[in-house]
Amino acid sequence: MMAPILNVQGLETQFRLEEGTIRAVNGISFQLNEGEILGIVGESGCGKSVTMMSILRLIPAPPGKVVAGQALYKGRDLLAMKDEEFRQICGSQISMIFQDPMTSFNPVLTIGRQIAEPLEAHLSLTRGQVYERVVELMTIVGIPNPKDRFNDYPHQFSGGMRQRVMIAMALACSPQILIADEPTTALDVTIQAQIIELVKELRDKLGMAIIWITHDLGVTAGLVDRVLVLYAGLIIEEASVEELYAHPEHPYTIALLGSLPRMDAGGRKRLVSIEGKPPVLYEKPTSCPFAPRCKYRIEHCSTENPLLMQVRVGHTAACWVDPKTGKERS
């Protein structure tokens, strides 16, 4: 078993607004192993991005604040580090690809200059070495004629090429953890497939661990090793990708998978919709947050919020009911 490179325990993040305090993340715990691709899935507003932004101390304060928890990177708590110590790690050992390649660049700086920034901040390189490394990175991520495009500006690149540049920036210092926040959302399906294949190749070549945040379970199936399903700022199911798709154990996961079109369904099959809306978390959930939308709910669901419980080896779910039988789990 590979040793965990990142160990998050009891993470809680809140946003204090005029309308009240939003409990966006409500006690999330997980581990990331060396060389692993971990998928984090769930619908918009479930806490995926806020969890990662909390770990990287990117939550705007005010109104946001991490109120509890630890994020241990190689045994050192990222959340408790002094600013200077954290800056040495963030961007060099841990990098992030942000969601929208269209708005993630400074429009008045060249692409080459922007890729060079993390190299200049974290590594002692000459100007010539920086240039050679930037060209190498652009080549690695598949940008044609990198020397000719070094001095081009972001608006001169397509969406797919901008996303490749974002990946090059994130890889500049050879990080051990790469966090990708829905990096293919704004791209067409052909470019999505190219980016996903590129990420897999880079993981195999560089050996880094990856956290892939998405709401697209179709993307997850062909990319990740293990999946965390989030709902209402909580992990409600965790399993290997093969196990999760073959034997989903939480009604929310079942519904998410039911909303995907299937090529192996033997003809047209009506997609499943999830009725109702996600909860607005002005209070930390004390009962199952999915219960109002769940067709399997029982009385216990309205009185106590279930913790993750093992249903098979390496597979946990936070649900009082076995959806296959409709009976309460013992």
Asked whether 253 and 267 are in contact (CB, 8 A), the reply is no
Reading the block at residue 320, the tokens are: 């009082």
| Helical ranges in the chain per DSSP H | 48-55, 83-89, 111-122, 127-140, 146-149, 159-171, 189-206, 217-221, 241-246, 251-258
Structure tokens at 69: 């928890």
**Contact partners, residue 210, CB within 8 Å, separation at least 6:** 36, 37, 38, 177, 178, 179, 180, 199, 203
Alpha-carbon span 163 to 157, nearest angstrom = 9
Query: How far is residue 175's CA from residue 247's CA, in Å, rounded to a whole number?
Result: 34
Q: Whole-angstrom Cα distance, residue 186 to residue 216?
A: 12
Q: What is the pLDDT along the chain (330 residues), one digit of tens a residue?
A: 566 999 999 999 999 999 899 999 999 999 999 989 999 999 888 999 999 999 999 999 889 999 999 999 998 999 999 999 998 898 889 998 887 767 788 999 999 999 999 898 888 889 999 999 999 999 988 889 999 999 999 999 988 888 889 888 888 888 899 999 888 776 778 877 887 888 888 888 888 999 999 888 888 888 899 999 999 999 999 999 999 999 999 999 999 888 877 666 555 567 778 888 888 889 889 999 999 999 999 999 999 999 999 999 999 999 999 998 888 987
Q: Are 252 and 317 in contact (CB under 8 A)?
A: no
